[in-house]
A and B are shown apart, each in its own frame.
Chain A
Amino acid sequence: MERENRAATPPCPQGQPLVAIHDLVKTYFVGRPNELEILHGIDLTVWPGEFVAIVGESGSGKSTIMNIIGALDRPTRGSYLLDGVDIERASDRQLSAIRNRKIGFVFQTFNLIGRTSAQKNVELPLLYAGVPARRRAARARELLEMVGMGDRAKHQPNELSGGQKQRVAIARAMACDPPLLLADEPTGALDTQTSRTVMDLFHKLHRERGKTIILITHNPALAEECERILTLQDGRIVSQRKGAGYHGLA
């Protein structure tokens, strides 16, 4: 299976991989004796500029691997280099900085901060990066403009539709201009129409801004649009193949 994985890696090995996971195991401990191994020796390499979809049935471990890639969670065993940095050895403070600068998260449930305007939400990562207020505001407006939410900057999350919330969340993920965007079922809570808008936005960021994107989805059609499709089953990558391609953007 490992050989098969290597074969499916796209032939663009210039520079170093953005994500380099080797023999990663994740075990949860539920109750004292019941250790539950969720991921069994995952090998995964993602090169800069790739658009990867992860599919697989519910409970197969997609979110678990995504959280580890996003430096939110630590692997139980195995190695993980993110942009050349060994996540295993990083301190909590370094992990915070990595999440802030290297990664942009987009959640299924948006996770916008309530009672805070769209603009302030987009400013959050910049706030933690220590960007001064004026530059934060300018950058946030620019990003909201880009996702087509320029006229909703002052709106609070409860005044936005689901699709609008997700666009604000994508703008927020882009705030510090991270190389890697991670989206865990970003269209899971949206209808087909809005899913399309959000997906187009990801393609735009991929093509125009060169973002590396890893996307979890249950929608086979959306997965097909990605460059590479990984299938996870019971904590193992059982197949990797090229996607059919995306023709929406010129």
Chain B
Amino acid sequence: MGLLDNIRLAFASLWAGKLRALLTMLGIIIGIGSVIAILTVGDSLTGTINDSMQGLGVSNITVSLTEKSDEEDADSSGGVSVRIFGPSQPADEDLMTDEMISDYRALFGDQVSAVSLSASLGSGTAELDTTSLNVSATGVNLDYQTANNINITNGRFLNQRDLDGEKKVCVVPDTFAEALLGEGVDPIGSSFDLTVGAKVLRCYIVGVYEQEENGTVSLLGSQTSYPIYLPLSTVKTLTGAADGYESFTVVGSDLENNSQFLQQTEDFFASYYTRNPSWTVSASSLESMVSTVTEMISTVQLAIAAIAAISLLVGGIGVMNIMLVSITERTREIGTRKALGAPGWAIRLQFITESVVICLVGGVIGILLGLALGSWGSNLLGYAARPSLLAIAVSVGFSMLIGIFFGYYPASKAAKLDPIDALRYE
């Protein structure tokens, strides 16, 4: 008895009871369909996120002070009030210090490619003659360039002498230079008056960097605010800020093992804060955040897949039920086949094939439905649908398995029927 004959037979009996078969398949269709739909949407989401993370800077590690949350012995109402009225500010003695950073560099050596430090001076205006432009001024160290991929097109970036001498020099975007001085004028060596709050200083341009089109241009109303960079020491003196950092950025040299390096960095700085009652240090990178999000999506997918598995189980039981009914209805047929010389295995194969065909047809309908639903969902969320070929292959395989698993018992029952009893069956 060939497999092809069995398949043809299975389709014939399926076709003879179309509605019944469809209802039986419903569990399988819903199960497989929802798995495919969820996987398609999920994969589109993670795929899109990963694609957009191909840019630079994703592996930069941000080291920042964070409030300790497990304050068991603290006054609970106080804890709540802190939450309600926003995060509290760390005191000056809580800040991370230059000593910590130099210890860190000494300990990790070559593993650290850059430690980018910065302090914000604030938003203000740059004035030259009658031109006035909005700027946001930040004091930075030398490594800031590496960490933020600042591409100098003219002149130079800040250097150690600028920092040591607290020089009043700055690096500006090319668009800023053009807007301030006009096209074709070499801006290097030019100066302008920088006003931030009550402070006014004359700033000399030492370098021009290329500003990315869709980069970090912050918009204040409709007016562009140009990011300009001054030596960190200059800004600190100007603001009179404490000698420490709430956060800074580290660039590792071995990006393959970045997550491990991230953990080591966090552990290193957190070790200074074990005794600190309310503050500690955490390290994160866009990369690690993305993987957290991706993991979250996978968890959601898994949870939904588990629910779908229940649907598949119910579907499988439905298939088993209908197979048992079908075998009872066809008892005489089974008896006749046995009288004509069908061995037990041929009967078993016939009914397992039938159950596999039911499940496979259900699975294929489910896959098509899931793909349609998943694409629709992805498009609704604004992502390109990414049907997972693996999920489709697994679904096909899984529906076959369900067919075999839930078809085996009824088929064996049919195979073991006594030919006389089967022929006598009324």
Contact = CB atoms under 8 A, between A and B. Distances in A.
A211 interface: no
B346 interface: yes
A92 B5 CA distance: 23
Interface residues of A, number: 28
Interface string B386-426: 00000000000000000000000000000000011001000
B339 A128 contact: no
B341 A125 contact: yes
B12 A116 contact: yes
B91 interface: no
Given A111-B423, A115-B13, A115-B16, A124 B337 contact: yes
Interface in A49-98: 67, 70, 72-73, 92-93, 96-98
B332 interface: yes
A67 B13 contact: no
Given A96-B338, A114-B333, A176-B341, A128 B420 contact: no
A227 to B, nearest CB: 25
Interface in A203-241: none
Contacts of B16: 115
Nearest to A132: B2
Given A67-B420, A113-B333, A115-B12, A105 B340 contact: yes
A92 B344 contact: yes
A125 B340 contact: yes
A190 interface: no
A99 interface: yes
Contact of A96 (B5, B333, B342): B342
Contacts of B2: 127, 133
Given A99-B338, A113-B333, A113-B336, A72 B343 contact: no
B343 A111 contact: no
A166 interface: no
Nearest to A113: B333
Contacts of B344: 92-93, 96
B201 to A, nearest CB: 95
Contact of A111 (B1, B12, B13, B332): B332
Nearest to B332: A111
Interface centre among B339, B340, B343, B346 (most CB of A within 10 A): B340
A72 B346 contact: no
Nearest to A102: B341
B349 to A, nearest CB: 11
Contacts of A92: 343-344
Nearest to B341: A100
Nearest to B15: A115
A137 to B, nearest CB: 12
B12 A99 contact: no
Interface in A98-135: 98-101, 105, 107, 111, 113-116, 124-125, 127-130, 133
B333 A100 contact: no
A128 B12 contact: no
Contacts of B1: 127-128, 130
A139 interface: no
B110 to A, nearest CB: 73
A232 B339 CA distance: 24
A96 B335 CA distance: 12
Contacts of B341: 96-101, 125, 128-129, 176
Contacts of B332: 111
Interface string A21-49: 00000000000000000000000000000
A130 B343 CA distance: 12
A101 B340 CA distance: 9
B12 A96 contact: no
Interface string B176-215: 0000000000000000000000000000000000000000
Contact of A124 (B13, B340, B420, B423): B340
Given A67-B420, A72-B423, A128 B340 contact: yes
Nearest to B13: A115
Contact of A172 (B5, B340, B420): B340
A25 B203 CA distance: 120
Interface centre among A97, A98, A101, A105 (most CB of B within 10 A): A105
Contacts of A98: 341
B13 A96 contact: no
A121 to B, nearest CB: 9
Nearest to A70: B339
A111 B5 contact: no
Given A72-B339, A115-B12, 11 more contacts: A72-B338, A96-B343, A98-B341, A99-B341, A111-B332, A113-B337, A124-B340, A125-B340, A127-B2, A128-B341, A128-B346
14 contacts: A92-B343, A96-B338, A97-B343, A99-B338, A99-B339, A99-B341, A105-B339, A111-B339, A113-B333, A113-B337, A114-B333, A127-B1, A133-B5, A176-B341
Interface of B: 1-2, 5, 12-13, 16, 332-333, 335-344, 346, 419-420, 423
Closest 3 CB pairs of A and B: A100-B341, A96-B343, A111-B336
